[in-house]
Chain A
Amino acid sequence: MDLTLYVWRQEGPDAKGKLEQYEAKNVSPDSSFLEMMDIVNEDLITSGIDPIELDNDCREGICGTCGCVINGIPHGPQKETTTCQLHMRQFNDGDSITIEPWRAKAFPVVKDLVVNRSALDNIIQSGGYTSAYTGEQIGEANNTLISKPVADYSMDAAACIGCGACVAACPNGSAMLFTSAKIAQLAVLPQGEIEAAERVGEMTEAMLNAGFGNCTNHYECEAACPKGISVKFIAKTNREYIKALAK
């Protein structure tokens, strides 16, 4: 396959960026999107141009490192698929592809397609955990029974990979899906329920302080999420929030 790319190039956080045109030639349809980018970068290095910087690591769709906006959609056209798991057979020979970084106030551009997502870490640090210390006598695991539907619900929320596509997709640049996934995962478990009220307050406040917008129910986040995290966790978070106010 031969493709024409329009890629966002930006030297640094304060520099002005622009789209540059590049050609990708002889790409196998079985190659992944990032393998296609590898080929383009090899060509750029050969011709003395700095290669395109982009974050990626596991290339298995689980670490959450990669992510670009591909033809206007975070992680590209295939549903529930990270950029690294997107394969070129999803495109046609001769296609033009526009590739941009996540765009959100809370995610400043580091270089080219790389953004700074440390704001997501700040949200977890504010209270996205149970306060369990490490200890040998912390309690026999099977003494706490958790019904299968509850465990499954918790796991559905916990599947979030923290890539930030939800933020990039949201017209408000909100991290509500990310934040609520952690709040919901822990709130339904007996281990997490004890601190649920403090947690929901701390985490939503940290989200706003980090420069993320609020949720106005567009549900673009769910549509863009590579792990299919449901917006029902946002509803759960709102409920936890109101419950906490009543306390």
Chain B
Amino acid sequence: MILDGKCPTGPIEKSWDKYRFEMKLVNPSNKRKYKILMVGTGLAGGAGAATLGELGYNVEAFCYQDSARRAHSIAAQGGINAAKNYHNDGDSVYRLFYDTIKGGDFRAREADVWRLSQVSNNIIDQCVAQGVPFAREYSGLLANRSFGGAQVSRTFYARGQTGQQLLLGAYQALSRQVKAGTVKLHPRTEMVDLVVVDGVAKGITIRNLVTGEITSHWGDAVILATGGYVNVFYLSTNAMGCSVTAAWKACEKGAFMANPCYTQIHPTCIPQHGDQQSKLTLMSESLRNDGRCWVPKKAEDCEKPVTEIPEEDRDYYLERKYPSFGNLAPRDIASRAAKEQCDDGRGVGPGKRGVYLDYQTAIDRVGENTIKERYGNLFDMYEKITDENAYKQPMRIYPAPHYSMGGLWVDYNCMSNVPGLFVLGEANFSVHGANRLGASALMQGLSDGYFVIPYTVGNYLAGVKPGEVTEEHAEFKRSREEVESRIDKLKNIKGDRSVASFHRALGKIMWEDVGMARSKESLTDALKAIPKLRDEFWQNVKVTGAKDTRNGQIEDAGRVADFFEFAQVLAADALHREESCGGHFRVEHQTEDGEATRDDENFCYVAAWEYKGVGKAPELHKEPLKFENIKLAVRSYK
């Protein structure tokens, strides 16, 4: 099937304004008759639920955390982009649009990215009105910093806790709607099924994570803002509870998964300490503003203390390879470059899987106090985890899975191919192409939540009769029965291996064979190994404890089971995409000096996969990508 993204035509500058005007509206007095279900309360979900509540819709919001304030958006550190051009350094909506398309390696839709760039400025205004304490200059004006993949200073920040502050802004707006009675919150609930009636999304089934109770909820529209899937690698920078489950349940009900092979491996993470590691910690990319990446030129120097390696024996590999962007090269490029140095035997630290990020030059230039002011909390965090003082010796960093550019396929309205099912934020595939630039995730989450979904969901609901299908419908009962029987099945296996051990084993396959560098051989191996491990899981997993209580094992078992199915689609997508672009690097497709080689003739499309059932190959659907405003070009940061 050839998919239609329903993008507006005509001049790109007017595309969103024109489209918005043509959308249908719901009469204010009718809005309260429509019930909208929002799953997830991060930046996209929290902002969306608050705004839809404010408009007068009847909103119910669900999250697995104990409070809507805790979604993993909170962990974003560095900042949020906007094309304000406060510094007269040549920024504009067009430049942000251009940088994002280019940064995404020409694998995103122009119209979606234009809209994102256009509303970026509204987001900053909105957050300031909410009382988000952005960093300020002594003049009282908003401060900016620069970030990877851009040559202008357009990133707004609140110390090293920008995600926290933006999320709390959205959470507070949401709390105001709770008080107003337009939004009802369901914390500690996990979506475990999507209910589709006659091909249209009409509700969800949830598990109460305190009582174990399985219940269903109807809605005239269902919105998923459930984040990304990189916990498929087991070790990642995601929170422990992040999973693909909600999105995967949608896939099982017919929604397409788009570009799952576009996974972002973030360059500035703290290296692994050993086998007991449960997750990896990211440090903001803003660290690369002042830090310089290097490894010893000679492998025999790697074990030596830094002070014994003279300047001329250090290889500042990013500055050497990419003189114009240097240490601010985009994430995919910086990560691969770090891996190359380590593969070359010149890594540092335990297992030689690390590179230095050195602040000495910056400290000499601006002083330790200024560095402390800029990155103090990151240096503290680094010291807590590694017991090393980065003011005195360079940090050690190594890439780690961080973000998924791929996600559920959506059209320009953020609606999936299942009518009535909308997908926002990291959970959809729409704007980042094959690689996301720094400070763009927060921008997308808030753009989708505050400024896109309020319009597009109205346009959809204007053609829907409110409350037509409720929990009385037979599909809801069937959904609950399916969920119950799956939990019973997992509990009755009574095998020998814990859920966590299976998750670790899956993660190892994914990291080694479907990680930063993929080959036909490694992917074929993975596609054999994953189903084998999956079968063992369903025969030998051990899930103890009761089901009618809080039981972390039941939660994790369900999530890992979904990761097994999803991992096969991810690997199949990576195998089919015979090119290197952004976060997807195929070793067969590179230039002599190791740069990615894109194949625009054959792969300039979105790959949307339809799940066909256990053990069956997913079916590929394509949405061709057209570039009418930006010329397809080789992405160079040299």
Chain A residues within 8 Å of B, Cβ to Cβ: 11-12, 27-28, 30-32, 34-35, 38-39, 42, 45-46, 48-51, 53, 55-65, 78, 81, 85, 87, 89, 110-111, 114, 116-118, 120-121, 124-136, 138-142, 144-148, 151-152, 154-155, 158-159, 161-162, 185-186, 189, 191-192
Which residue of B has the minimal Cβ distance to A147?
A: B140
Is B172 a contact partner of A110 (Cβ separation < 8 A)? no
- A142→B54 contact, CB < 8 A: no
Is B550 a contact partner of A111 (Cβ separation < 8 A)?
A: yes
From 121 to 144 in chain B, residues with beta carbon under 8 angstroms from any chain A beta carbon are 122, 124-131, 133-142
Given the interface contacts A28-B274, A136-B122, does A62 sit within 8 Å of B65 by beta carbon? no
Given contacts A60-B281, A148-B137, contact A39 B276 (CB under 8 A): yes
A121 nearest CB across to chain B (Å): 5
Is there contact, CB below 8 Å, between B549 and A62?
A: no
The answer on a CB contact under 8 Å between B544 and A155 is no
Residues in A whose Cβ lies below 8 Å from that of B71: 63
**B contact residues vs A (CB 8 Å cutoff):** 47, 50-51, 54, 65-72, 74-75, 84, 86, 119, 122, 124-131, 133-142, 158-159, 161, 164-165, 168, 171-173, 175-176, 178-179, 185, 187, 210, 239-241, 273-274, 276-279, 281-282, 381, 384-385, 387, 450-451, 454, 498, 500-501, 542, 544-545, 549-553
Main secondary structure on A side of the interface with B:
loop
Knowing A62-B161, A118-B66, the reply to whether A148 touches B140 (Cβ < 8 A) is yes
Separation of A154 and B158 alpha carbons in the complex (Å) = 11
Can you report 18 A-B residue pairs in the complex whose CB atoms are below 8 A from each other? Answer: A27-B276, A28-B276, A31-B274, A35-B277, A38-B278, A58-B240, A60-B281, A63-B70, A63-B72, A85-B384, A116-B66, A121-B67, A121-B175, A126-B179, A134-B126, A139-B125, A155-B158, A186-B131
**Chain A: minimal CB distance from B266 (Å):** 13
Are A146 and B136 in contact, with the CB atoms below 8 A? yes
Q: Are B276 and A59 closer than 8 Å at their CB atoms?
A: no
Contacts of B74 in A (CB 8 A): 58, 62-63
Q: Smallest Cβ distance from B55 to chain A, in angstroms?
A: 8
- A28 and B234 CA atoms in complex are apart in Å by 20
Separation of A55 and B498 alpha carbons in the complex (Å): 19
- The docked-state distance in angstroms from the alpha carbon of A7 to that of B348 is 39
Bound complex: CA of A112 vs CA of B161, how far in Å?
A: 31
5 more contacts with CB within 8 A, not counting A51-B545, A118-B67, A155-B135, are A30-B273, A31-B276, A50-B545, A124-B172, A191-B131
Is there contact, CB below 8 Å, between B279 and A59? yes
Contacts of B137 in A (CB 8 A): 148
- B70 touching A65 by the CB < 8 A rule? yes
Pick the contact of A53: B72, B127, B185, B552 (CB < 8 A). B552
Establish whether residues A129 and B550, one from each chain, have CB atoms under 8 Å apart when the complex forms.
no
Q: How far is the CA of A151 from the CA of B161 in the complex (A)?
A: 14
Please name all residues of chain A whose beta carbon is closer than 8 Å to the beta carbon of B158 when the two chains form the complex: 155, 158
CA distance A109 to B172 in the complex (A): 26
Rounded to whole angstroms, the CA-CA distance of A148 and B125 in the bound complex is 18
Q: Which residues from chain A contact B279 at a C-beta distance below 8 Å? A: 59
> Chain B residue with minimal CB distance to A58?
B239
| Residue numbers in A under 8 Å from B277 (CB-CB) | 31, 35
User: Is B130's CB under 8 angstroms from A191's CB?
Assistant: yes
Given A65-B65, A131-B176, A139 contacting B72 (CB threshold 8 A) = no
Task: Provide the residues of chain A in CB contact with B70, threshold 8 Å.
Answer: 57-58, 63-65, 162
**In the complex, what distance in Å separates the CA atom of A144 from the CA atom of B480?**
52
Asked if B381 and A121 sit within 8 Å, CB to CB, the answer is: no
Neighbouring B residues of A125 by C-beta, 8 Å: 175-176, 178-179
Q: For B142, give its contact among A62, A63, A142 (CB under 8 Å).
A: A142
Which residues of A are found within 8 Å of B161, using beta-carbon distances? Answer: 62, 159
Q: Are A141 and B72 in contact (CB under 8 A)?
A: no
B385 contacts across to A, CB distance below 8 A: 32, 85, 87
A123: min CB distance to chain B, Å: 9
List of B residues within 8 angstroms of A138 by Cβ:
122, 125-126, 129
- Note all chain A residues with C-beta closer than 8 A to B171: 124
- Whether the Cβ atoms of B65 and A46 lie closer than 8 Å is no
Q: Which residue of B lies closest to A27 (CB)?
A: B276
Q: Within 8 Å CB of A192, what residues of B?
A: 131
The 6 closest A-B pairs by CB, nearest first: A145-B140, A129-B172, A132-B129, A30-B273, A155-B133, A151-B136
Contact A154-B133, Cβ < 8 Å, known A30-B273, A85-B381: yes
- Name which residue of chain A comes closest to B47, CB basis: A134
Query: What are the residues of chain B within 8 A of A59 when measuring CB–CB?
Result: 239-240, 278-279, 281
Set of chain A residues within 8 Å of B187, measured between Cβ atoms: 118, 121
Alpha-carbon gap, A26 to B175, bound state (A): 45
Which of B131, B273, B282, B500 is most buried by chain A, counting CB atoms within 10 A of its CB?
Answer: B131
CB distance from A168 to the nearest CB of B (A): 15
B175 with A124: CB separation less than 8 A? yes
A46, A140, A142: most-surrounded residue (chain B CB, <10 A):
A142
